[in-house]
Amino acid sequence: MSDLIKLLPESIANQIAAGEVVQRPSSVVKELLENSLDAGSTSVKLVFRDGGQTLLQVIDNGKGMSDTDARMCWERHATSKIRKANDLFDLHTFGFRGEALASIAAVAQVEMKTKRDEDALGTHIVIEASEVKKQEVTSMSNGTSISVKNLFYNIPVRRNFLKSISVETKYIIEEFQRVAISRPDVEMSLYNGKNEVYKLSKSSLKTRIEDILLKSKKGELLEVEESTEIVKISGFVGSPELARKTRGSQFMFVNQRFIKEPYFHHAINGAFDGLIETDHHPFYVLFLEVDPSKIDVNVHPTKTEVKFEESRPIYQIIKSVVKRSLGDYNVSPEFETTAFIPGFDKTPSPFTERSIKPPTIKTNSGYNPFISDQVKKKSETQWEKLYEPFRDEPVNVPMPEHRTENLDLRSKDKNIEIGQAFQLHTKYLVCMINNQLHIIDQKRAHERVLFEQYNAQLSASKVACQQLLFPRTLELQPADFTLLTSLIDEINQLGFDVSPFGKNTVIINGTPADIAKGEEQRLLEGILENFKRNEQALKLDKRENLARSLAKNAGIQYGTVLEQEEINQLVNDLFQCETPGFTPGGKATFVHLDSSQLTGLFE
């Protein structure tokens, strides 16, 4: 019997390794940008087309490579970063595995030009599927230019699993942001084809963060600074106004390497406890400096997962210094810590210098116990918006079990008798339907009605649009702008009149007729936020996702007082729906009790 075990060819081994290292175009962006920074570049340019599927090009002015190194860097496990195993615990560079370039060359058509300062001519190399097609001398300036074309051209299955161009573009922009934030001392630019997305000059960290993340957001950056024997922490956290429901504005770096660490994210959330809503995430850009011998970055090929030897003390330090920064800016109450944190006892810190202050009692001199609570009109209940995210939570009131067999009632194909309805607690609608007591959630009911309405509009012709007397402009983050432009036809079909208006800006000329004046910007931003959230959590058709997102943001909110005519209209519209019993997300829109259940309540 012949031997069965064979050594795989190098090209196949590289394709297998590429499955972990090169997951999508943004993975290539990460590896190439980090290599440019490791090469000592002071200027880096990234150009991509079609979401990175047809072209990814990185041009830098780093130290370049010799003709031998230019050939060797494409071999598997070829690296200039480490020489022995112990070097893994004293890393001062992004790359070290020697797998990235070999993996990229295995699944794409690659062209590289590189030149050192001491060389008169540079080297030009062309590689396809790990095979070197050409190597020759070329005339060029100092530095390196790498072009990755037709990613996954030889692995059609992987190419088919890539998302849409807009989604892949969003991932590329996010990867660029992470690298650009980590190195504000480097000029960096990003181009989507010929369109300039970012052109960042050398600056301070705060300026770099504002240029990339805060152009269209209101809030304040609060500085974080602390040095202990275990970890040195620097960076900024955002004031509570910068918190968002979706992730994307959370950046943590250890020794300038971007990492994803849910444990430390929990520490920062704990510092914001009571300052932001429970379903929101705080804004932060934090840099941790830790002894390289006490962390392990060799956990996963993407190098975003890091093991910490002293994670628990670091957790406490992060939570404490963020809490202190919030307190120093009068965002949260001052506090004193009695927990032992290594380094604090030897390093002067405001924790030990702050004097103990006696508690103060504040009174409300305008309080009148004889004024009864009254339901306020819409214009007088702005404060209630603060509690809207919490009103979605189920009320913990003992209720008898209710039946759901009649949740598919439709007045268009059944004879339904709808009695007089009234509003309860500006949250529920109560009425008798077919001799059963129904309690309807007004927000969820309106969301169901709007969802089916918008779904129908997306399948039909464009609906009427209400033109604004004074058009409004809306500046977005580059990733959001790209997403909006990819959805602009469907958004306009829903009754909007929106068009691009310069760099990362759109102009709103009109809105659907039923949208309140002044809500245009909030509505569009909310649509994008919900669309991204649904895209991450659910695999929905683009139109259904858009209809869900608009219905979620345009629906009646809790605390809104409805006129009797509006109450009747909403109840009738709900039971005209195809699926009146549930929201698009699957939550019940109403419960009902029949006469036997009501009788049972009094037995």
Q: Residue 37 in 3-state DSSP? A: helix
Q: Which of 13-22, 113-122, 214-223, 365-374 has the highest mean pLDDT?
A: 113-122
- Confidence band (pLDDT; 50, 70, 90) for 321? very high
- Greater confidence (148 vs 388) lies with 148
Tell me what the mean pLDDT of segment 425-433 comes to: 88
Tell me what the mean pLDDT of segment 84-109 comes to: 67
Nearest to 245 by CA among 277, 197, 288: 277
- Confidence band (pLDDT; 50, 70, 90) for 530? confident
pLDDT > 70: percent of the chain = 74
- Greater confidence (364 vs 562) lies with 562
What is the per-residue pLDDT across 482-509, written as a single tens digit (0 to 9) for each?
A: 888 888 888 888 788 888 887 778 898 8
Is residue 237 predicted with pLDDT exceeding 90? yes
Query: How far is it, in rounded angstroms, from Cα 9 to Cα 25?
Result: 25
- Confidence band (pLDDT; 50, 70, 90) for 205? very high
The per-residue pLDDT of the chain, averaged, comes to: 79
Dihedral of CA atoms 42, 231, 334, 260 in degrees, nearest 10, equals 70
Q: Residue 400 in 3-state DSSP? A: coil
CA distances from 371 to 366, 367, 374, 425, 493 (A): 11, 9, 9, 19, 49
- Confidence band (pLDDT; 50, 70, 90) for 302? low
What is the per-residue pLDDT across 104-141, written as a single tens digit (0 to 9) for each?
A: 988 999 999 999 999 999 999 999 988 899 999 999 99
Q: Which domains does the chain have, with CATH numbers?
A: 10-203 (3.30.565.10), 214-353 (3.30.230.10), 422-592 (3.30.1370.100)
Crossing angle between the packed helical segments 442-459 and 478-493, to the nearest 10 degrees? 80
Is residue 360 predicted with pLDDT exceeding 70? no
- Greater confidence (394 vs 532) lies with 532
Q: Residue 183 in 3-state DSSP? A: coil
Query: How far is it, in rounded angstroms, from Cα 533 to Cα 549?
Result: 9
What is the sign of the dihedral through the CA atoms of 173, 176, 181 and 184? negative
Q: Running DSSP on this structure, what letter comes out for residue 556?
A: P
Is residue 32 predicted with pLDDT exceeding 90? yes
Q: Residue 187 in 3-state DSSP? A: strand
Give me the DSSP letters along 474-528.
EE--HHHHHHHHHHHHHHHHTT-EEEE-STTEEEEEEEETTSPTT-HHHHHHHHH
**Is 112 in contact with 145 (CB distance < 8 Å)?**
yes
- Confidence band (pLDDT; 50, 70, 90) for 414? low
Residues 6+ apart with CB under 8 A from 501: 473, 507
Give me the DSSP letters along 274-285.
TTS-TT-B--EE
- Greater confidence (117 vs 344) lies with 117
What is the per-residue pLDDT across 36-71, written as a single tens digit (0 to 9) for each?
A: 998 899 999 999 999 999 999 999 999 999 998 888
pLDDT > 90: percent of the chain = 29
Is residue 349 predicted with pLDDT exceeding 60? no
- Confidence band (pLDDT; 50, 70, 90) for 162? confident
Nearest to 144 by CA among 81, 69, 59, 74: 59
- Determine the pLDDT at residue 337: 47
- Greater confidence (88 vs 166) lies with 166
Is residue 431 predicted with pLDDT exceeding 60? yes
Q: In what order do the strands lie in the sheet with 55-60?
A: 131-138, 122-128, 109-115, 143-149, 55-60, 43-49, 187-192, 195-200
- Using left for φ > 0, alpha for ψ between -120 and 50, and beta otherwise, residue 450 falls in alpha
Amino acid type, 575: F
